[in-house]
Amino acid sequence: MNEYEKTAWPEMESYGWDEERDKDYAAIPPFGKKLAPARVVAQFSHQYRIATPWGDRLAEVSGKFAFAAATPGDYPAVGDWVAAEMPDGDSHAIVHALLPRRTKIMRRAAGSRPDEQLIGANIDTVFIVASLNEDWNLRRIERYLIAVREGGAEPVLLLTKADLCDDPERYVRETKSIAPEVPVIPVSARSDQGREALAPFLSPGKTVGATGSSGVGKSTLLNWLAGEPRQSVQGIREDDARGRHTTTHRELFVLPSGAVWLDTPGMRELQLWEAEDGWQATFSDIEALASSCRFRDCRHESEQGCAVREALNSGALDPARYANYRKTERELARLALKEQRAGKRLAKGEAARGAKPAAGARRQWRVAIFEDED
C-alpha cells in the first residue's frame, strides 16, 4: 500500500490527531494527488509552516484552494489540520484542503468593516490569564469569557502571581461568582504553585493557549510549563536533521506534558467579534432573569414585573455585572449593524457558498433596540 493511502496517521498523534480526524480526513474528496495530513504550526503572509508525518515543511495553498476561498476565515490558520501534497525531494508542500474545525478563536480585523480573522483553530482549552496582584478586573474577565466561548473552546481562568497575594482564595471566590461553572486555578510560576491543578487540561494531544492583558504573566507561564525558557512568538530552538540548533518561528508546539501549546500574537489581544453565543453563555444568569420579566420585550428600565430590576434592587445581581452585560450587548449590536451593512455587499458570494443567513432574528432584534441608543 502506498504510504499516502494509510487510513490512520499515528505520526500526527503528538499534535492531537485522533480517530475522529482519521474519519474527517477519509471524507476529503480525492484530489488526484498524493496527500497526507499536516497541522499548521506557523503562518506568514502567504506561506505556512506545517508539521507533517515526515517533519516540518513550508507550504502554500493550491490555486484552486485560493480561488474557492471567499473570506480570510476560509484560509488555514495556526492550529488547522490540512491535507497537503508533499512532492518527493522537495522541502515545500501544497495545501489542498482544510479539515473541519472543532473550535476557532476569532478576532475583528482592523478597519471599519468587521471581518472574521482567525487567530487560532482547534484549540481545546483557552487559559484566560489574570494577575492576582494588579489590574484585577472581573468585567474584563467577562469579556474574555465571551470571546473564548464564542469559538467553542473551553475557558479556564488562571489567576497568576499567587505568590504576591495574601488571600488568593478570596479572588477565586469572586471569580467563581461571575462564572460558577468555569474552573478557576490560582498559580504561581515563581513559587511553582498550581501545577497539579493544571495537569488535567494539559494532557497529551490537547491543544491549549493563553490570553490576557499584557504583563499578567503569559510568557512566564509558558516558560514554567515548558520547563525551559521559550519565547514562543519569537521562535524556538530545535535540532535540525544534522543535530545543529536552529531557531525556527513556530506558534504551535508540544509541551513536556504532551499538550500542544498555541501562541499566536492575536491570541494575546482577543477582542469581541459577533459573539452572540458566547455572550449568552457568559451572562446566562441575566438572560434567565430577563426571560422571567413580565413583558417579553422588557427593557429592564421601569417596566412592571421586571425580574432584572428586582434582582438589582435586592442585591442578587451585581450592578457592575449588569452594566457590563448592557455594554457588551451594545457593542455586539453595533458590530451586527456594521455587519449588516457590509453584508449587503457580501450576500451574493455567501449565498453562492451556501452560507447560513447571519445568525438570525434575535440579533436583528438587538440591533433594532440599540440602534437608537448611542
User: Which residues sit at the interface with Zn ion, rule CB under 5 A?
Assistant: 293, 298, 300, 306, 308
The reply to whether 190 sits near ligand GTP by the rule CB under 6 A is yes
In the complex with Zn ion, the residue whose CB is nearer, 215 or 305, is 305
In a 10 Å sphere around its CB, with 0-12 CB exposed, 13-18 middle and 19+ buried, how is residue 50 labelled?
A: buried
Longest dimension (CA), the chain: 76
Q: For the CB of residue 233, give the shortest distance to ligand GTP in the complex, in Å.
A: 8
Which residues contact residue 291 at a Cβ distance below 8 angstroms, ignoring those fewer than 6 apart?
none
In the complex with ligand GTP, the residue whose CB is nearer, 218 or 230, is 218
Nearest Cα residue to 164 out of 184, 138, 193, 185? 193
161 is in an annotated binding site: yes
165 is in an annotated binding site: no
In the complex with ligand GTP, the residue whose CB is nearer, 76 or 212, is 212
Q: Which residues pair with 186 in a beta bridge?
A: 159
Q: For the CB of residue 6, give the shortest distance to ligand GTP in the complex, in Å.
A: 40
Size of the site for ligand GTP (CB under 6 A): 15
Site string for ligand GTP, 150-179 (x = CB under 6 A): ----------xx-xx---------------
In the complex with ligand GTP, the residue whose CB is nearer, 52 or 264, is 264
212 is in an annotated binding site: yes
Per CB under 6 A, the list member of 149, 268, 300, 363 interacting with ligand GTP is 268
Nearest Cα residue to 248 out of 262, 230, 261? 230
In the complex with Zn ion, the residue whose CB is nearer, 147 or 298, is 298
**Rounded to whole angstroms, how far apart are CA atoms 268 and 282?**
20
One-character DSSP codes across 40-51: EEEE-SS-EEEE
Contact (CB, 8 A) for 239 and 56: no
Q: For the CB of residue 132, give the shortest distance to ligand GTP in the complex, in Å.
A: 9
What does 308 interact with, of Zn ion, ligand GTP, none (CB < 5 to 8 A by kind)? Zn ion
Site string for ligand GTP, 215-254 (x = CB under 6 A): xxxxxx----------------------------------
In a 10 Å sphere around its CB, with 0-12 CB exposed, 13-18 middle and 19+ buried, how is residue 319 labelled?
A: exposed
Cell of 97: 484542503
The alpha-helical segments, DSSP class H, found in 92-217 are 138-150, 168-178, 195-198
What does 190 interact with, of Zn ion, ligand GTP, none (CB < 5 to 8 A by kind)? ligand GTP
Site string for ligand GTP, 192-221 (x = CB under 6 A): ----------------------xxxxxxx-
Cell of 293: 420579566
Sign of CA dihedral 359, 360, 366, 372: positive
Q: For the CB of residue 161, give the shortest distance to ligand GTP in the complex, in Å.
A: 4
**Rounded to whole angstroms, how far apart are CA atoms 23 and 21?**
5
What does 293 interact with, of Zn ion, ligand GTP, none (CB < 5 to 8 A by kind)? Zn ion
What does 306 interact with, of ligand GTP, Zn ion, none (CB < 5 to 8 A by kind)? Zn ion
For the chain, how far is it from start to end, CA to CA, in angstroms?
65
**Rounded to whole angstroms, how far apart are CA atoms 349 and 318?**
44
> Could you say which DSSP state residue 35 is in?
E
23 is in an annotated binding site: no
Per CB under 6 A, the list member of 40, 189, 259, 272 interacting with ligand GTP is 189
- Residues annotated as binding site for Zn(2+)? 293, 298, 300, 306
| Contacts with ligand GTP, residue ranges (CB under 6 A) | 160-161, 163-164, 188-190, 214-220, 268
- Residues annotated as binding site for GTP? 160-163, 212-220
